[in-house]
Amino acid sequence: MGEGAGFQLGTVGALSLSVVSSVSIVICNKALMSTLGFKFATTLTSWHLLVTFCSLHVALWLKLFEHKPFERKVVMGFGILNGISIGLLNLSLGFNSVGFYQMTKLAIIPCTVFLETAFFAKRFSRSVQSSLSILLLGVGIATVTDLQLNMLGSILSLLAIVTTCVAQIMTNTIQKKFKVSSTQLLYQSSPYQALTLFISGPFLDGLLTNQNVFAFNYTPQVLIFIVLSCLISVSVNFSTFLVIGKTSPVTYQVLGHLKTCLVLAFGYVLLHDPFSWRNIFGILVAIVGMVLYSYFCVIEGQQKAREASAQMLQEKENDSDPLLRAEVGGGVNSDGAAPTAQVWSSNKDLRA
């Protein structure tokens, strides 16, 4: 009981940390990019990952966690794939309308469900599938506006969806297979992610903005917001790995859409962004979907826990059954009596 409660508390803490840090960094980056004109998203992400690695290296030096190396090829491939998925998402936003980009993000959930079902034999109940459909409908109503299609943008979006799904599934799979924590995995993979984006970032940002990141006018205010964004990103990156490791890639995507709704709400309240009844209705529908998804996941989790407990209890009863012990133990009991007499006198099936 205590262990299960501790796991649930850790999961709630991970989800809360992810929401707070993600909403905070979105508000910070919005001020940095919209107000101060620093629009180099991919390069900024590479700085985020570099600061994250340095922070974790300090934490390792302070012995706040234990370094647990595993297959270098797996770490390298995972880190590079994560970096590529981030770059493709930024390109998708740059070459598509905002509405089509939101559709791209919505497509990540059904794609993840399909991949986990096809390659990992994972089963999603009809209740969970229905709640996910309600969630996606609500987020779609709240965020999707124009849907302008073009061939290049569509290809980039498709690649972004696939790489993001695979990277998030790998996050969960690697942590379970190699028995590494989210901190250990992030510490080992963040240098490869940072290097991938640091090399490609200036080129991609120049392609999307027609500006040179190195020629930008870095005023003290811009530097303050960049430093603040990098510091918040440590929490964002850590909570991402933590949530996926404790839950699942699908739950992380559901949480991401919750954060989208919260960002819309915060933007309206704090930044006075344009808002309509359509946004409000979509957010309410999405919240209903998220509540239903959480409810069904908890119910199914409790059912699986009961089944596991019943199976363990059955195994214990089988292990303690006198007839089984006599068959395994063989000839003579400790008191010298024939084992058969003790067995038959205490066999609960015969008494019944």
Structure confidence at residue 342 (pLDDT): 41
pLDDT greater than 90 at residue 33: no
Both structure tokens of 333: 């009991």
**Mean pLDDT confidence for 99-119:** 82
pLDDT greater than 60 at residue 119: yes
Angle subtended at Cα 161 by Cα 157 and Cα 165, rounded to the nearest 5 degrees: 170
SS3 of 3-59: the string is HHHHHHHHHHHHHHHHHHHHHHHHHHHHHHHHHCCCCCHHHHHHHHHHHHHHHHHHH
**Mean pLDDT confidence for 101-126:** 83
Q: How far is the C-alpha of 191 from the C-alpha of 78, rounded, in Å?
A: 11
What tens digit of pLDDT does each residue of 139-148 get?
A: 787 766 666 6
Q: How far is the C-alpha of 265 from the C-alpha of 9, rounded, in Å?
A: 27
Contact 33, 211 (CB under 8 A): no
Both structure tokens of 55: 């922070």
**Mean pLDDT confidence for 306-332:** 63
Structure confidence at residue 270 (pLDDT): 60
Structure confidence at residue 20 (pLDDT): 81
Closest CA to 103 of 260, 241, 248: 260
**Mean pLDDT confidence for 295-301:** 78
pTM for the model: 0.70
Among 36-45, 228-237, 249-258, which is the least confidently predicted range? Answer: 249-258
Per-residue pLDDT band at 18 (split at 50, 70, 90): confident
The residue count for the chain: 352
pLDDT greater than 50 at residue 25: yes
